[in-house]
Chains A and B, each alone.
Chain A
Amino acid sequence: MRYRTIEDVKRLGHPVIDCHMHVRSERGDPAGGLDIRHCDQIIEANAKLGITLSCVIDLNVTGPQPYEMFHRANDRAAAAAARHPNHMRAWCFVNPGDPRAMEEIEQRVRDENFIGVKLYNQHRLDDPMLDPILDRCAVWGVPVLSHAGRPNDAETRARQPKISDASHFAAAARKHPGTMIIEAHLGGGGDWEWALKYLRDAPSVYVDIAGSVVDEDMMDRTVAAIGAERLLFATDMTYEGSMAKALDAELSNEEFSGLMGRNFQRILARRAI
């Protein structure tokens, strides 16, 4: 048994990176501006828990998502990164089924230095429709972070019929072995044990550990299944639980350092545009 503390996080000596966090719009209005107060609360929360960099996506990602909506959402993510340039970076969210998705990716990722592409549940990750995006990200050396889950309850399945589970991630990785794919929030509520079975043999798929599920052995089981080099710290708005999973995992100092930032820094360093 080894339990780390927040002091161990603050002593790391390198950026502590939350690779999956959300900003939101004022009053939840999809056409509105960035909720400044909420954005600043992220910085306050980060300070309490030793996080130094948040990689953000706007929270408005559900539904059909035509170009105008995801373009506006990315404006808010850009505004957040501009407001806190040393502590926030932005992901480019698109609906890959929209004909202007690639145009948005080129603007944000190539021209505005967004980290990479964020996908939600509009289409499954191994859908051929996504091939151009995944190929482009491989060429540019930028990651793709995708919403994920294996929900076993009827409500979530009905609400998210095209959610990608680990089998879709593994299939996409086989088609696009040069693309760095990140499966979002292992603790996001689906069957994470099921996910580990597929992730073992998908070496280009990384896993962010965010999510409200804080099962006691989740992290150690994950490390045993896929190793620590593909694990990325993230909160997806569940701050203490996600940090606790990192602190309570049986990791060497080097593995812990990787989880808390070094692994994601290596991803960022592969950028080639």
Chain B
Amino acid sequence: MIIDVNAFLGHYAFRRLRHNRASELLAIMDHFGIVRACVASADAILYRDSHMGNVLLREETLPHSERFWCYATINPAYAEWRHDLRQCLAWGFKGLRLYPKHHGYSLQDPETARLIEAAAEAGLPVSIPVRVEDPRQRHWLDIEATVSIEEVLAAAERHRIATFILTESVPPLQPDAAIWARMRRVNLYLEMSRMTAVMENSIGFLIQHLGEDRVLFGTGLPFKTPSASFLKMLALDAPDEAKRKVFGENTRHIFGEPPRYPQNKE
């Protein structure tokens, strides 16, 4: 089973996105054999009230709820985030999405800590993209800062009950770095769409140092072209069992299978 842990629906303010409607994304998913996609609202990245992105995401995915697991994009620095989180939980959203750089807060802020704890208590994994776009092509109104693995690791160390997913990440490639021991002690998973399986082979390196249970398949659709991640899995020199975990088993475990949607017969 292939699950894409890093997908979006909706519009992005700084660049046209194609295939950003549910029906269009589903067509691509079907072509590549992606059974389910974990989707966040692209609108919510830059909306002042990011919860409006969640509203649109729910409307868009409702007819296809067996194929999408929705991230609730919540800004803990904005008004009444608890209401937004409660509503997303009532709608069956399966994960939390944070944009600390775009939304102007720190993962160390007390209110962020309360949001992470609330999500963890509700069983939602916390997903954080390192970046939305490459900063070198940034729009002049966009930010340059990216989220560091150190920031997320520190948050994971503070919130041991929470599960963190770092998307668009590139792992450190120093084999003896103390960071590996720290990463192994917390619930932190890394999505692989910016990594490689040839030459420096950062995916293989990550599997070697953190374990095959911690790597998640993602595409970045519809921001990014889908074959890149599939080629990485094709080129990855790893046992079939490890690939199966990366392709979907790990994500299914994180998101708490069996699924809550009764129409899902898998």
Q: Residues on A close to B: CB < 8 A?
A: 1, 3, 6, 38, 41-42, 44-45, 48-49, 149-156, 188-193, 212-219, 237-241, 243-245, 247-248
Q: Are B199 and A191 in contact (CB under 8 A)?
A: no
How many residue pairs link A and B with beta carbons under 8 A? The number is 108
- Given that A214-B225, A240-B197, A244-B231 are contacting pairs, would A3 and B19 also be in contact in the complex, using a CB cutoff of 8 Å? no
B contact residues around A190 at 8 Å (CB): 136-137
Please give, as numbers and ranges, the residues of chain B lying within 8 Å of A189 by CB-CB distance.
Answer: 134, 136-137
Closest to A218 in B: B225
**A44 x B198 contact (CB < 8 A):** yes
Whether the pair B136, A149 counts as a contact (CB closer than 8 A) is yes
| Contacting pair A216 B224 (CB below 8 A) | yes
Q: Which of B15, B196, B220 has the most CB of A within 10 A?
A: B196
B232 to chain A minimum Cβ distance, whole angstroms, is 5
Chain A residue at smallest Cβ distance from B223: A216
Cα–Cα distance between A219 and B137 once the two chains are bound (Å): 16
B199 touches A239 (CB 8 A): yes
Contacting residue for A241 out of B27, B135, B228, CB 8 A = B228
A3, B198: Cβ atoms closer than 8 Å = no
Task: Check if B222 is an interface residue, CB within 8 A of chain A.
Answer: yes
B260 at the interface (CB under 8 A from A): no
- A239 in contact with B134 (CB, 8 Å): no
Please, which residues of chain A bring their CB within 8 A of the CB of B32?
3
Whether A216 touches B17, Cβ cut-off 8 Å, given contacts A48-B235, A190-B137, is: yes
Take A153-B135, A216-B19, A240-B235 as given contacts and tell me if A247 and B140 are in contact as well, using a CB distance cutoff of 8 Å.
Answer: no
Q: Is A212's CB under 8 angstroms from B234's CB?
A: no
**Complex contact A155–B144 (CB within 8 A):** yes
* CB contact list, B105-150 vs A, under 8 A: 134-140, 144
Residues of chain A within 8 A (CB-CB) of B234 are: 6, 48
| Chain B 144-172 near chain A by CB (<8 Å), digits 1 or 0 | 10000000000000000000000000000
The reply to whether A243 and B134 form a contact with Cβ atoms under 8 Å apart is no
| Contact, CB under 8 Å: A152 / B138 | yes
Per a CB cutoff under 8 Å, which of B136, B194, B222 touches A153?
A: B136
Give complex CA distance A215, B137 in Å: 11
Residue pair A48, B198 in contact (C-beta under 8 Å)? yes
A240 touches B138 (CB 8 A): no
Which label, helix, strand, loop or mixed, suits the secondary structure of the A interface? helix
Q: Is B28 an interface residue (CB 8 A)?
A: yes
A-B residue pairs in contact (CB < 8 Å), sample of 19: A41-B198, A41-B199, A45-B198, A45-B199, A151-B137, A152-B138, A152-B140, A214-B220, A215-B15, A215-B224, A216-B221, A216-B222, A216-B223, A238-B196, A239-B199, A243-B231, A244-B226, A244-B231, A248-B225
Bound Cα distance from A217 to B225, whole angstroms: 8
Docked-complex contact A247 and B227, CB < 8 angstroms: yes
Contact of A217 among B18, B135, B227, B230 (CB under 8 A): B18
Q: Are A49 and B235 in contact (CB under 8 A)?
A: yes
Contact A244 to B27, CB < 8 A, known contacts A153-B144, A216-B17, A217-B18: no
**0/1 interface trace, chain B 161-202, chain A, CB 8 Å (1 if under):** 000000000000000000000000000000000101111000
Q: Does B199 contact A237, Cβ atoms closer than 8 Å?
A: yes
Contact B196 A239 (CB under 8 A): yes
- Chain A residues with CB under 8 Å of B199's CB are 38, 41-42, 45, 237, 239
Residues of B within 8 A of A240 (CB): 196-198, 228-229, 231-232, 235
- Contact between B136 and A217, CB atoms less than 8 A apart: no
Q: Which residue of A lies closest to B17 (CB)?
A: A216
Q: Given A44-B198, A192-B137, 14 other A-B contacts at CB below 8 A?
A: A153-B138, A155-B144, A189-B137, A193-B15, A212-B194, A213-B137, A239-B198, A240-B196, A240-B197, A240-B228, A240-B235, A243-B228, A244-B226, A248-B227
* Distance in angstroms between the alpha carbons of A38 and B136 in the assembled complex: 28
Q: Which residue of B lies closest to A4 (CB)?
A: B227
The verdict on B16 contacting chain A, using a C-beta distance below 8 Å, is: yes
Residue of A nearest to B15 (CB): A215
Q: Chain A residues with Cβ under 8 A from B265's Cβ?
A: none
Bound Cα distance from A215 to B225, whole angstroms: 6
**B31 contacts the other chain (CB 8 A):** yes
Q: How far is the CA of A266 from the CA of B23 in the complex (A)?
A: 42
> Known: A41-B199, A45-B198, A240-B198. Is A3-B227 also a contact (CB below 8 A)?
yes
Q: Which of B27, B139, B224 is the most central at the interface, judged by chain A CB atoms within 10 Å of its CB?
A: B224
The one of B15, B28, B134, B221 in contact with A212, judged by C-beta atoms closer than 8 angstroms, is B134
